[in-house]
């Protein structure tokens, strides 16, 4: 992830200082990374399919699992909001059901929403949507409340992986 960040960000923050990234490669690098699939979820990850009517249950499940994983109530609520935004995009923009996967790693609780849709802008959610525009705010919210968001999209579909540190 750090090598990808060095090629996709013109400036980096390290040791309390901001500096120019010597490996910055411009927008083409971000496009190439966004088109790569994420590594598979670990074996044992919980997996749930959902459709339009399943969002309330999905929210309850995410909040319950996040609290059980050690997230504070506020952080669990933030993650629940983020997952709801990503899942709502699935319901609004695709015809097939979506998939939620959840797991813990050494430092974080992770939720991933996958669907059959494709996002044309690999920077979606990384910058604020136009105030007057319809839509485009959900992925921005996801990026604001999660500690790390990985978005990958291509002809195979889209995956939004949201990490919340447990510490």
Query: How do the domains of the chain map onto residue ranges?
Result: 1-34, 37-165
Residues of the chain with pLDDT under 50: none
Q: What is the pLDDT at residue 6?
A: 76
pLDDT in the model for residue 26: 73
Please state which of the four CATH numbers 3.40.640.10, 3.40.605.10, 3.40.50.970, 3.30.565.10 is assigned to the domain occupying 37-165: 3.30.565.10
Of residues 163, 124, 139, 142, the one with CA closest to residue 34: 124
Identify the pLDDT of residue 19.
80
* Confidence (pTM): 0.84
Question: What is the pLDDT, as a whole number, of residue 1?
Answer: 66
Residue 95: burial class (beta carbons within 10 Å; 0-12, 13-18, 19+): exposed
């Amino acid at each position: 992830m750090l090598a990808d960040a060095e090629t996709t960000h013109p400036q980096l923050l390290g040791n309390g200082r901001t500096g120019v990234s010597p490996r910055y490669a411009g927008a083409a690098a971000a496009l190439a990374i966004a088109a790569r699939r994420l590594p598979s979820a670990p074996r044992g990850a919980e997996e749930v399919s959902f459709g339009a009517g399943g969002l309330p249950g999905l929210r309850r499940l995410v909040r319950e699992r996040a609290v059980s994983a050690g997230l504070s109530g506020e952080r669990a609520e933030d993650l629940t909001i983020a997952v709801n935004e990503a899942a709502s995009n699935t319901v609004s923009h695709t015809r097939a059901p979506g998939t939620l996967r959840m797991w813990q790693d050494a430092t974080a609780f992770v939720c991933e929403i996958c669907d059959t849709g494709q996002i044309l802008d690999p920077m979606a959610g990384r910058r604020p949507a136009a105030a007057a525009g319809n839509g485009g705010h959900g992925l921005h919210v996801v990026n604001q409340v999660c500690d790390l968001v990985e978005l990958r999209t291509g002809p195979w579909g889209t995956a939004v992986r949201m990490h919340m540190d447990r510490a």
